[in-house]
Amino acid sequence: MKLDDLFLDYLEYLEIEKNNSQKTVENYNHYLRRFLAFAESKFKVFQPQDITLNVVRKYRVYLNRLKIDHDKTLKISTQNYHVIALRNFLKYLTRRDIETLSAEKIEVGKNPTRQIEFLTAEEVERLLNSAKGDDLASLRDRALLELLFSTGLRVSELVGLDRENLNLKRQEFSVRGKGDKIRIVFVSNTAKNALEKYLNKRMDIDPAVFVRMTKGLNVEADAESLRLTTRSIQRIVKKYATKAGIVKDVHPHTLRHSFATDLLQNGADIRSVQELLGHSDITTTQIYTHVTNEGLKDIHRKFHGRKKA
């Protein structure tokens, strides 16, 4: 079989047998199509047995030099995603007893250490308090900011949130995150109060929790028609960060980082934070070691080298 046909088989395998999300399948399709286009144009690679270490090495050079939007190159982490997708595809071929390059011969580069931006407790308070007012837009924005910080939701999870999902009486609800994983998130008292004020003032029947403001908000609307987009939420967060006088580049994900940092600073263990964030791998949560490291430093100062009574 030609590589093109095998790619399609592999994507179907990811969707059906591995039960990967549609987004994951789309990403693999993008990464593997890029490899196929390169290999066919440069090396006339059409069959699995044509994939060699030399082809892969040249492909990695190509990825490293590839220019994308505004003449930027691909991030190292993005290049590694391409290589991981190719490795996993080769493993799939091997399991099917199709002759090709061994996936174990391809090494994945080390990702650079991620630097995260988070807000201090004082900055979070300023941000939340910057959304004032009793009009519907102000109530929505305050509820949105409160919920992001209270739950650590990803912006995509916030966008997809429906009113029927919320259980404000129990102050918790389930959310479907990356990889279709379902987790429970918890709503603080302040977030609950902000949401109740906002939702009680809504007169429309749109299912979305967070909707855009229109003149027709109090009339019947088609489902999805009023739902805020990811970009809209990014603009709202930036608007109030500027209003609060925060000089950091604040995004919705900054509040997710702040949520995790706040938990760790107040004594939560990293495994619990992993569960609350919905990380499948603890190594992803370990980007917050800046917090635990500071805690260890305090312990070291407090207990090391002290004379016993």
178 catalytically annotated: yes
Predicted confidence at residue 218, as pLDDT, reads 46
Do 58 and 134 lie in a common domain?
no
Is 257 found in the same domain as 233? yes
Q: H-type helices in 102-251, by residue range?
A: 121-129, 136-151, 155-159, 189-201, 230-243
Q: Are residues 98 and 126 in the same domain?
A: no
> Catalytic residue among 58, 96, 126, 178, which?
178
Q: What is the mean pLDDT of residues 277-286?
A: 86
Q: Which distant-in-sequence residues (6+ apart) come within 8 Å of 275 by Cβ?
A: 183
Asked if 47 and 98 sit in the same domain, the reply is yes
What's the pLDDT score for residue 23? Answer: 83
* pLDDT bucket at 220, cuts 50 / 70 / 90: very low
Annotated catalytic residue within 58, 197, 212, 253: 253
Residues 215 and 293 in one domain: yes
28 catalytically annotated: no
- Mean pLDDT computed over 285-304: 69
Q: What is the pLDDT confidence band of residue 215, given thresholds at 50, 70 and 90?
A: low
Q: Are residues 150 and 20 in the same domain?
A: no
Residues 210 and 280 in one domain: yes
In a 13 Å sphere around the CA of 6, the CA atoms on its Cβ side amount to 23
Which structure tokens are listed for 245? 């006088």
Decide: 129 and 256 in contact? Cβ < 8 Å: no
Domain that holds residue 32: 3-105
Same domain, yes or no: 90 and 160: no
Catalytic residue, chosen from 140, 154, 192, 227, is: 154
Same structural domain, 94 and 155? no
176 a catalytic residue: no
**Residue 162, domain CATH:** 1.10.443.10
| 81, 105, 129 - which closes a domain | 105
Q: Is residue 70 among the annotated active site residues?
A: no
Q: What is the pLDDT of residue 188?
A: 95
288 has catalytic annotation: yes
Rounded to the nearest integer, the mean pLDDT of the chain is: 88
Residue 271 bears catalytic tag: no
Domain count for the chain = 2
Say yes or no to pLDDT of 22 above 90: no
* Number of other CB atoms surrounding residue 50 within 10 Å: 15
Q: Are residues 168 and 287 in the same domain?
A: yes
242 pLDDT more than 90: yes
- Give me the mean pLDDT over the 252-280 stretch: 91
Same-domain check for residues 101 and 125 = no
User: How confident is the model over 78-117, as pLDDT tens digits?
Assistant: 999 999 999 999 999 999 999 999 999 999 877 766 678 8
Given a cut of 90, whether residue 237 has pLDDT beyond it is: yes
Do both 249 and 213 map to the same domain? yes
Mean pLDDT for the stretch of residues 22-34 = 92
What is the average pLDDT across 242-247?
95
> Where among 46, 79, 105 does a domain terminate?
105
60 is a domain residue = yes
Q: What span, in angstroms and rounded, lies between the C-alpha atoms of 287 and 257?
A: 10
Catalytic residue among 87, 142, 257, 279: 279
User: Which is catalytic among the residues 192, 227, 256, 257?
Assistant: 256
Percent of the chain with pLDDT over 90: 67
